[in-house]
Amino acid sequence: MTRVTQATIPDRNFDDLVTPTRIHRSLYTSPELFNLEMERIWGQAWIFIGHTSQIPNTGDFFTTNINHNIPVVMVRDKTGEVHVLHNRCGHKGAKVVETRTGNVRGAFNCAYHGWRYRLDGSLLAIPNEAGYEDTGFDIDDRCNSMQRLAQVACYRGFVFATLSNKAPDLLTWMGGAKDCFDNLCDRSPEGEVEVAGGVLRYEHECNWKFILENLNDTMHPMVVHQSVVQAAKSYIATLPDDAAKQRSEAEIILPFGSSYTAFENSGITGFPYGHHYDGGKTSIHANYSVMPEYHAAMLAAYGEERTHDIYSFNTHNVLFYPSLTIKCAVQNIRVIRPISVDRFVVETWSFRLKGAPDEMLQRTLLYSRLINSSMGMVGPDDLEVYRRTQEGLASPSNDWVEFHRQYGKDQVFPDRVVGGGTSDLDMRTQYKAWKAYMEGSIFNGGAQ
Amino acid sequence: MISREVIEDFLYYEASLLDVPDLDTWMNLFTEDGYYWMPAAEAQRDPINHISHVYDDRVMMEIRRRNFVHPRAASKEFNIRCSHLIGNIRVMPAEPDAGTEIPTGAVRVTSNQHVVVWYRDEQRIYAYRGEHVLVAVEDSFNIMSKQVMLINPDAAQRSLTIYL
């Protein structure tokens, strides 16, 4: 079977751009490096595509790009299997599906010459097919189909795909970060989540890597977000006690002002392939009130001890490098898609915990709206400092961006690296992976 | 029925406060339980069980106002100025949504608003259908609700640090 072939990655080492404690500023400013990243990082890693709850019925589809420009479609066939296909007609190359979501009745139908495809991407029919007789055209050649991606896999409803047939299986690639998907889903009394309440899309006028670096940069919240914390704190203090207690906004916003000590104690854990999270035993989401009705449903489903264990694993941001970050305790995720060297889009999706009362989804949506919206209380200040960094790095005064904090103090275990919550361990983890992807060694031991 | 001219004067006044912007005075146009809502999807009816760009009551407006003038809010360091152009104003009796009480004499006003925003050395344009529910007080109105229905609510939006 013909597969989409991957460009051969030439040997080139990136020692001149990435060291264990710093990276060259061109990683954020060079269009050539951006194009290489799209081929070597986004073209090899498992990329988050969507969630099976978005396509419950036969023919339901969801479209996205797997990197900055390669269009794909996730679709459920009549046997219930979920496919991720290249959204490209096998004939002249037109995108076959144009809308973001919808349902295909029967077969995909190309708008240009009417070629039709089954829901698994195979070619079903060509109008006036007789014209191809004795021309050497092979209707069964997979290159004439809507081709499947090299690998597709699903874990607890989260669908990933990769353009590389060399990538290890999804669970191997996730490593210990997989626990975070388990924790997110186990927070449902039924052990399942579903996409709910719509999507926020937020354009960022800077390099895509800034948001990944910021997720577990715990030295910034008390600086970047001090204004909103102070604004909220000063006003809430003027409210009567019972009115203040009813405001979920307070427990969402105020922890962004947590101390260096609090963030230090939350810890950071890094994994092969660039994944990492901060928190675990505690995080800025650890002190949310537990809704009584939800707690009762959890106890009924899991019993006291297991429920306690599920609540006790409390991470802040988990990064599945490079395309997805999830918040288990909040039940939202952010999906990253680069556009160009200085532009990307973040999508915030919210999840319903099946079997939990509606108030849980409402709190998730409140969080997404307050924090992640383009009109939010936190997101615009983060983006502002990314943009200043993008603009500042045009300066030739210093070619390097450093990440020395607590270097040499990381505790190395066979499957993970653990360090203090304010360390730059997250930077070291992701740029080790960045280098291995770019050098072509990521699936030959370079991830370790 | 309240004349459209009086309504128009009020919408122009409200817009002039956002143009400056003068959030202190603007906020006080709202009733105590008033709210400002910018949905994130076309024809979105539910602000609680569906995501929105913003859904603020008076408490959130007050926190936002304090943040807006805070000396350490990086995204607010730039001068921001707006120009609202309002047209296609229509006035109709207000109909209560489920579970809400609308006082006698309240009106629902729809308008088309084009807003040019100057922010971060750049001009941008927004277009929306506005829906105000207004209640008469003395010689003016209070805003019970203001909905800002962007023509592109599901597009990737850029940072917006001011109410439209």
CA-CA distance, A443 to A341, in Å (whole number)? 25
* Per-residue pLDDT reduced to its tens digit, B57-100: 999 999 999 998 888 899 999 999 999 999 999 998 877 665 66
Inter-chain touch A224–B40, beta carbons under 8 Å: no
Same domain assignment for residues A65 and A213: no
Q: Stretch A38-51: mean pLDDT, rounded?
A: 97
Residue A349: its pLDDT value, please?
A: 98
B159 → closest Cβ in A249, A383, A388: A383
Tell me the pLDDT band of A338, cut-offs 50, 70 and 90.
Answer: very high
Count the domains in chain A: 2
Whether B123 maps to a domain, the answer reads yes
User: What is the domain-level CATH number for residue A305?
Assistant: 3.90.380.10
Question: Are residues A261 and A382 both part of a single domain?
Answer: yes
Q: Are residues A105 and A238 in the same domain?
A: no
* Segments forming the whole domain that contains residue B88: 4-150
pLDDT in tens, A90-130: 999 999 999 999 999 999 999 999 999 999 999 999 999 99
Instruction: Report residue A99 as tokens.
Output: 């809308």
Report if residue B163 sits inside a domain.
Answer: no
Task: Quickly count: other Cβ atoms within 10 Å of residue B98's Cβ.
Answer: 4
DSSP 8-class letter at B97: P
Q: Tell me, what CATH number does B33's domain have?
A: 3.10.450.50
**CATH number of the domain within which A91 lies:** 2.102.10.10
Please choose, from the candidates B21, B124, B120, the residue with its C-alpha nearest in 3D space to the C-alpha of residue B68. B21
Indicate the number of domains in chain B: 1
Q: Residue A125's domain spans which residues?
A: 46-155
DSSP H/E element including B26:
helix B23-27
Is-contact A204 A383, C-beta < 8 A?
yes
- Nearest C-alpha of chain A: how many angstroms from B3? 34
Q: Using CB atoms within 10 Å of the CB of residue A282, give its burial: 0 to 12 exposed, 13 to 18 middle, 19+ buried.
A: middle
In a domain, A25, yes or no: no
Residue A412 lies in a domain: yes
Split at pLDDT 50, 70, 90, the class of A4 is very low
Nearest chain B CA: its distance from A415 CA (Å):
38
Chain B contacts in chain A segment 211-240 (CB below 8 A): 224, 226-228, 230-232, 234-236, 239
Would you say residue A36 lies in a domain? Answer: no
Q: What is the value of ipTM here, to two decimals?
A: 0.95
Residue of B nearest to A357 (CA): B49
Q: Among all residues of chain B, which has the CA nearest to that of A374? A: B159
Does residue A183 form part of some domain? yes
Q: Pairing relation of β-strands A343-353 and A332-340?
A: antiparallel
What is the distance between the alpha carbons of residues A418 and A426, in angstroms, rounded to a whole number? 10
C-alpha–C-alpha distance, residues B102 and B144, integer Å: 9
Task: Give yes or no: residues A200 and A125 share one domain.
Answer: no
Of A339, A402, A4, A390, whose CA–CA distance to A201 is shortest?
Answer: A339
